[in-house]
Structure 1
Amino acid sequence: MRKWIWIIIAALWLLLLFMPWQGIPPLHKFLLYPNSVLQVEMEDQTKTLSNSRFPGLNISFDERGVPHIFAETEEELAFGMGISHAKDRQFQLEMLMRTVKGRLSEVVGVEGLESDRWWIKFDFENKSKLAFQQLQETDPQIAGIFKAYADGYNYLLKQQNEAQKAPEFHLLGFEPSPMDPYTPIMLIRYMDKVLNYSENDLKFSALKKHLSQSLIDYYYPLQSDLAFPIYPELSSNDSLDPQAGIIPYTSQSDFPQAETRTGGNNEVGSNNWAVAAEKSATGNAFLCNDTHLPLDLPGTWYEVHQVVNGKVCHGFSIPGTPMVISGYTDKVAWGMTNATWDLSEFYKLETNDNNQYKLDGQWEELEATTVQIPVKGQEDFDYTYFSSFFGPADYMEGELLATQWVGEKFELNEMKAFLDVRNATSVQEAHKALLGFGHPAQNFVLADNQGNIGMVTAGYALLHSRPQRGISLGNRKSNLAKFTHLGNRLVVLEPGKGWNHSANQQQVKSDFTPYLNSLFAPTARGRRISTMLMSKDKIDRDYLKKMHGDVVDGEWPLLKKMILESAPESFL
């Protein structure tokens, strides 16, 4: 009798494990240990890849999980980076790729629709495919690196068993997607979204209904009196001659859901600074980079040690690209902070009942595109957006607005710029390499093994004919703002003071600043870094550690001064 009881229990247990239960993943993938995603992995941390495209590639992981990749060629190195990112950041990359493609809803349900609707109107997947095809003709080396990176990622996917897949795939009930070679091009747009996209102009347009222009200028000045620029050397002679302005549009909506980015939001940026040989206690240059991106799990950065044909590079990559984004070689070092420019613009389109919009006095066709967005657990969602001279257009709070955004720029290849920086032998060569960096615009700090340092703000700025905030009228082609690369304009190499710094504040204190943005980060961080760098004749490692750990409230003295200057005498 007992024998039959145990047989019945075993049968019920197997039924429980393999029966599909609504709303939960298959239980056998978690509770049967030989196939469970919860089992402890006993795999050797040194990977030999004799059956791969690059049998000589060697990847080992140290006690901190940092990969050490030894390769003979750039493509072999990229293959190893693809394997490493697939091993450690597979689910993160899956969700990043789905986000930019507008395919989140397919695996997370209706909660992903808002994101999918926003991304899909830019059609970045098809545009990235086209950019990669062009790259195969214009720069086959970079195209080959991108393909090798995707091949490495997909190689590991094919080698994995069920237990080695990230638990999230089992919980959500879908399989990992293979990577395409255009993925590094596509995912740059995600960093653009994180670092520079904002809908501040929508709020500024609505604000005009509630405040007079004088009060708007008082609370949100185009340029702060407390400006503390990155490049004081350039501030006195850097200006533009404003031309005739564009007539702004005052919306009837307050845009309560707008994605705003204030000066305080830019505190998510970073600090960096460098010390030249003449101010260094060791006679060598120092470079420090403290990235203030949010603490996420998994994080944005991925540390890696690369050795290709004997050349060493150590630093941080970002899953989705084989390049080191912030790091050093035996010749140069580089780091960055966000430039915090306003790189998105919105245009109100005047339309008629014939699906047309007025441009330069003529009615132009609004090209409508309808896409079906797969939604997990529901029917596909039909979404329609429009194409215009100013960019993709969609309805926001009942207003048909076209969006112009730096993420749509495909002329430069940012990953090629990082490869060239890694191969540079001096700050001058590194600066030249960064002229190929398009977006998101960054303040790059540089140092080399000859003791020289530099700072260059590389990337596209979105410049109108004069500073303005709010929604623009999309009725004339001349109203379209122009993208201008500033890598040769905002640069100081080998500064005479022997040090430099940036902390997301404005680059220059001049009439040029409002063309870039009016909501930079507060200046307290930059002021404190500057004070500490000036306070010692010779700077050593211990002092740099002290700077990294320094905690001072630099905002209150500045705020106190403003309060005393602004408050009525009766309050003092």
Structure 2
Amino acid sequence: MKLFKSVSALILTVLLIVALNRSWNFGSPIPPLGKFLNPFGGFWQNAERKEIPDEAVRINGLKGEIQIIYDSLLIPHVFASNDEDLYLAQGFVTARHRLWQMEFQTHAAAGRVSEIIGKAALDYDRTQRRRGMVWAAEKAKLAMEANPVANTMVTNYTKGVNQYIQSLTYKNLPLEYKLLDYEPEEWTTLKCALLLKNMALTLNSGEKDFEMTNALNLFDKTTLDLLWPDNENVGDPIVDNTGNWKFNPIVLDSIPLAVPKELIAISALEKAQPDVGSNNWAVSGKKTHSGAPILCNDPHLGLTLPSIWFIIHLQAPGVNVMGASLPGAPAVISGFTDSIAWGVTNAQRDLVDWYKVEFKDALQREYKVDSAWRPTHQLVEKIAIKNSAPFYDTVTYTHHGPVMFDRLFNAEGEKNNFSLRWVAHDPSEEVVTFYKLNRAKNFSEYMEALDHYASPAQNFAFASVSGDIAMRIQGKYPVRRKDEGRFVLDGTNTQTEWKAFIPNEQNIVHKNPPRGFVSSANQYPADTSYPYYITASSYEAYRNRRINKLLSEMTEITPRDMMELQFDSYNLKASETLPLFLSFIKIQELTESQNLAYSILKDWDYENTTDALGASYYEAWWNALMPLVWDEIKEAKVALQYPTAFTTIKLIKEKPELNFFDILTTPEKETARDVVHQAFLKGVAAVDSWKAEHNQEPRWADYKDTYIEHLLRLPAMSYHVQHGGNREIVNASSRKHGPSWRMVVSLEKNGVRAWGVYPGGQSGNPGSPYYNNMLNSWTQGSYYTLQFDSNPTRYKAVLANLTLQPE
């Protein structure tokens, strides 16, 4: 019996050791519990104290000693004696706080998520491979390596990241590696390029070619132009130059518009997120209290943890810059120096075209171009899958780009093949732009820096200590004929290819306008006199007009005024629609709860503040209205897109008898008035259902429920926050998107002053007090003063000193 007990205990011990040191999958993967729970090396070691000790680290390859001062927000102020050391230090210190985020995002960009989480990510990975993300990044990598400035930046940044990776043991791996049971791989310059291409995907992949092709075939050109106009004539474009364009534009030969006549079945391609956008503006010293220009920027991106941005201050001979950097790439993207400031918003332009491809046969080794057959290039993509055999996918390339949709992928009964032409596939050198912007002293150097910028297309606001303000809409834009780019193009005809790009000197620029400010909020870029044809998936219609109205009225502007404007929650769309909508309501037919909603809306001041009840009822009403109005589109069996809110409202006001207002499922003939009333009833029912479920009044912050989500969608590492605003509002915070970085810079001659905040913290470690320490300030519209001094001895509230020393 004793022997049996001893053997049984031994067997159980062995089984326990095996169990605790292997991964398990019960619906979702579980890490090896032995390693994960080990008090000396597991997740316990990821808990961090608020106090950080001073430290000296020896680094291979440094030319000199680097001093890094952490301020009270864990912002590193890096002081180096040369460019090589500066970017090596940036790579090292960024990886120190954001390594897992950096690597996970490059895996996502490259279509390698299945390696980490398994089969659930296979379709996503196939999409990324077929989109040509690695192909584009490899071309960008070669372009960067061929440019001495870019090569210095990315090579040394990569060295710094790898120096940090090499210092890691399991004990100090970021928590997510332990959760998912894998380890970081070597960082490469390709990964830097992948991150930049991933940002292009987020910002410049918007298009609606399939949807517009289907709309043209379902309706007619007149209806299409009514519902989806190229220019909605909202007013307040970024630049209103009233015909004062001093150049001779490129004019292409006209060709007939050839659009596929059949409906396209493809619908599963995820579209660019409509809540992605941004605000920026620069105000002349003539309008400010101090007499100095003020520049503001708040990019609207996904609200995620770890935070999208990493604040850093970089100082070396010739450079003294601070602002938001992109973890995984060198330089500062949105920021300021001791001479200038700049901020970016998305330019929205359509830089994606789809071509219908005709293959010779099912092997896809040849395709037709101008009545001749050309060879394709085929790449077999091996997609590694955690705990499964690899998946192999053959991707065919034409001279346009990758064939994303064919019989092997996302066919949905579709017999046609479609290749992708995208500006971001072309080699470019954006890092050179930021190298030069980070060192720019004046307007001319800002302009020279932007000459190197191609993708993703952005609106660059500018202000300088010398008093200049400017806006440049910069990117690589194909010259298009009227309607070109709106529909799927004929891939067998070389006449439909991009023939030229708008020269840099003909891109839209505005310097020191008489009104005393420049601004952009993703609206239409210029007045109709701009000689080039412009199209996009959508343009903003409300934030731009609200910002411009307030800036036009303001005088003696202070930085505090600008912070309040960034946090402005006035719902312009509601103010322009609600009085009319309420007049359509059949008051005598309302129930008690509907009467209550009517009264709340009638008394609402159009402010989407956290406590506003009217904001919740209006949002529910609007969400019910769109599918009722556009039921013809909702019920279509092919890819289509709703017209914009602005166009919908315009049609309600100007064409209330339009056939589209007739609801398909009823025998009656409805008008706009009827549909608005029915949407009101549905909206109230939705709010009543929410009230019953949550047992509380529908305060806007609760009803909207802004959610800052961890990249792995882990609730324990994510946060629900109380935040006002909404899409189409200056404080453009929806449920999962919003201001990812707020910055205000006063360009004063006796010293630049700056303030900033973002929804999270500098650390990517959920066990750190600096993971979310800025979150409350962000939700309340508060800012932190950004310490900015070229002298390391003058810093206050120093958290810690890190010294990097040559080995």
TM-score (norm: length of structure 1): 0.91
* 8 Å contact kept, 2:456–2:475: yes
Q: CA deviation at 1:299?
A: 1.8
1:34 counterpart SS class: coil
Q: Is 333-342 or 293-302 further displaced after alignment?
A: 293-302
Q: For residues 516-531 of structure 1, what are the structure 2 equivalents within 5 Å?
A: 516-531=534-549
1:288 counterpart SS class: strand
Residue 254 (str. 1) matches residue 343 (str. 2)? no
Alignment equivalent of 1:515, drawn from 505, 510, 533? 533
* 8 Å contact kept, 2:295–2:463: yes
Q: CA deviation at 1:554?
A: 1.0
> Hey, what does 1:244 align to over in structure 2?
255
Equivalent-residue separation in structure 2 for 1:529 and 1:158 (angstroms): 48
Equivalent-residue separation in structure 2 for 1:414 and 1:310 (angstroms): 19
Q: CA deviation at 1:459?
A: 0.8
For residues 67-119 of structure 1, the C-alpha deviation after alignment (integer angstroms, 9 at most, x for no partner) is 22121111111111111221221111112222233322222212222222222
| Gap change, CA 1:437 and 1:571, over 3 Å in 2 | closer
Equivalent-residue separation in structure 2 for 1:571 and 1:235 (angstroms): 38
1:249 counterpart SS class: coil
| Gap change, CA 1:126 and 1:273, over 3 Å in 2 | closer
2:98 counterpart SS class: helix
> Hey, what does 1:163 align to over in structure 2?
171
Equivalent-residue separation in structure 2 for 1:459 and 1:284 (angstroms): 29
* 8 Å contact kept, 2:459–2:473: yes
How many pairs were matched up?
Answer: 564
For residues 165-187 of structure 1, the C-alpha deviation after alignment (integer angstroms, 9 at most, x for no partner) is 12221222221011112332232
Equivalent-residue separation in structure 1 for 2:318 and 2:58 (angstroms): 21
> Hey, what does 2:232 align to over in structure 1?
224
Q: CA deviation at 1:512?
A: 5.1
| Gap change, CA 1:361 and 1:100, over 3 Å in 2 | same
Residue 71 (str. 1) matches residue 88 (str. 2)? no
Equivalent-residue separation in structure 2 for 1:182 and 1:21 (angstroms): 30
Amino acid across the alignment from 2:554: K
2:152 counterpart SS class: helix
1:111 counterpart SS class: helix
1:20 counterpart SS class: coil
Q: CA deviation at 1:13?
A: 10
Residue 326 (str. 1) matches residue 326 (str. 2)? no
Structure with larger RCO (C-alpha < 8 A, sep 6+): 2
Equivalent-residue separation in structure 2 for 1:321 and 1:485 (angstroms): 28
Equivalent-residue separation in structure 2 for 1:334 and 1:96 (angstroms): 26
Equivalent-residue separation in structure 1 for 2:489 and 2:53 (angstroms): 56
> Hey, what does 1:478 align to over in structure 2?
495
| Gap change, CA 1:182 and 1:234, over 3 Å in 2 | farther
Equivalent-residue separation in structure 1 for 2:58 and 2:182 (angstroms): 30
| Gap change, CA 1:473 and 1:184, over 3 Å in 2 | same
1:252 counterpart SS class: coil
Residue 434 (str. 1) matches residue 450 (str. 2)? yes
Alignment equivalent of 1:422, drawn from 430, 433, 438? 438
* 8 Å contact kept, 1:203–1:258: no
Equivalent-residue separation in structure 1 for 2:23 and 2:115 (angstroms): 20
Equivalent-residue separation in structure 1 for 2:159 and 2:339 (angstroms): 30
Equivalent-residue separation in structure 1 for 2:160 and 2:53 (angstroms): 17
Q: For residues 411-560 of structure 1, what are the structure 2 equivalents within 5 Å?
A: 412-468=428-484, 469-482=486-499, 484-485=501-502, 487-488=504-505, 489-510=507-528, 515-559=533-577
* 8 Å contact kept, 2:149–2:432: no
2:286 counterpart SS class: helix
Question: Unaligned stretches of 5+ in structure 2?
Answer: 581-648, 659-670, 674-807
Identity %: 26
Amino acid across the alignment from 1:174: Y
* 8 Å contact kept, 2:207–2:350: no
| Gap change, CA 1:208 and 1:294, over 3 Å in 2 | same
Equivalent-residue separation in structure 2 for 1:74 and 1:190 (angstroms): 26
* 8 Å contact kept, 1:332–1:424: yes
Equivalent-residue separation in structure 1 for 2:114 and 2:172 (angstroms): 25
Give the aligned CA root-mean-square deviation in angstroms.
2.9
Equivalent-residue separation in structure 1 for 2:242 and 2:85 (angstroms): 43
Residue 402 (str. 1) matches residue 419 (str. 2)? yes
For residues 493-513 of structure 1, the C-alpha deviation after alignment (integer angstroms, 9 at most, x for no partner) is 222222110000011121659
> Hey, what does 1:34 align to over in structure 2?
40
> Hey, what does 2:122 align to over in structure 1?
113
* 8 Å contact kept, 1:334–1:447: yes
For residues 507-556 of structure 1, the C-alpha deviation after alignment (integer angstroms, 9 at most, x for no partner) is 11216598332443332111111111111233222321221221111113
For residues 222-254 of structure 1, the C-alpha deviation after alignment (integer angstroms, 9 at most, x for no partner) is 211324210012556598867324311134333
| Gap change, CA 1:94 and 1:542, over 3 Å in 2 | closer
Residue 276 (str. 1) matches residue 294 (str. 2)? no
1:187 counterpart SS class: helix
Q: For residues 300-379 of structure 1, what are the structure 2 equivalents within 5 Å?
A: 300-309=308-317, 311-353=319-361, 355=364, 356-379=366-389
Alignment equivalent of 1:564, drawn from 653, 656, 659? 653
Equivalent-residue separation in structure 1 for 2:177 and 2:142 (angstroms): 31
Question: Unaligned stretches of 5+ in structure 1?
Answer: none
Equivalent-residue separation in structure 1 for 2:373 and 2:59 (angstroms): 61
Q: CA deviation at 1:143?
A: 0.7
Q: CA deviation at 1:294?
A: 1.9
1:461 counterpart SS class: coil
TM-score (norm: length of structure 2): 0.65
Q: Is 275-284 or 460-469 further displaced after alignment?
A: 460-469
Amino acid across the alignment from 2:421: Q
| Gap change, CA 1:165 and 1:335, over 3 Å in 2 | same
2:120 counterpart SS class: helix
Equivalent-residue separation in structure 2 for 1:571 and 1:291 (angstroms): 36
| Gap change, CA 1:13 and 1:518, over 3 Å in 2 | closer
| Gap change, CA 1:473 and 1:140, over 3 Å in 2 | same
| Gap change, CA 1:431 and 1:19, over 3 Å in 2 | closer
* 8 Å contact kept, 1:347–1:471: yes
1:226 counterpart SS class: coil
Q: CA deviation at 1:123?
A: 5.1
Amino acid across the alignment from 2:255: A
| Gap change, CA 1:571 and 1:300, over 3 Å in 2 | closer
